Amino acid sequence: MTIRAVSSQPAASTAANTGAQNQQAAAATQPASKTQAPTTTTTQASTPSASYAVTISNAARAAFAEATETSVQTAQEANRGDRQAQRLLAKEQANKLG
Write out the chain's pLDDT in tens, 98 residues.
Answer: 555 555 555 554 444 444 545 455 444 445 554 555 556 665 566 667 888 898 999 999 999 998 999 999 999 999 999 999 999 999 999 999 98
- Please tell me the distance from the alpha carbon of residue 34 to that of residue 50, in angstroms, as a whole number: 46
* DSSP H or E stretch at residue 54: none
C-alpha R_g of the chain: 29
Question: Is 71 in the same domain as 37?
Answer: no
Q: What pLDDT score was predicted for residue 72?
A: 94
Check whether residue 10 and residue 50 sit in a common domain: yes
Spacing of C-alpha 6 from chain mean position: 11
Alpha helices in 49-98 (DSSP H): 58-68, 71-79, 83-97
Are 10 and 38 found together in one domain? yes
- Give residue 89's pLDDT: 94
Residues 70, 41, single domain; the answer is: no
Residues in the chain: 98
pTM over 0.95: no
Same domain, 49 and 69: no
Print the domain residue range for 15: 1-55
- Helices 83-97 & 71-79 angle (0-180, nearest 10): 120
Q: Are residues 64 and 36 in the same domain?
A: no
- The answer to whether residues 2 and 52 touch, using CB atoms and an 8 Å cutoff, is no
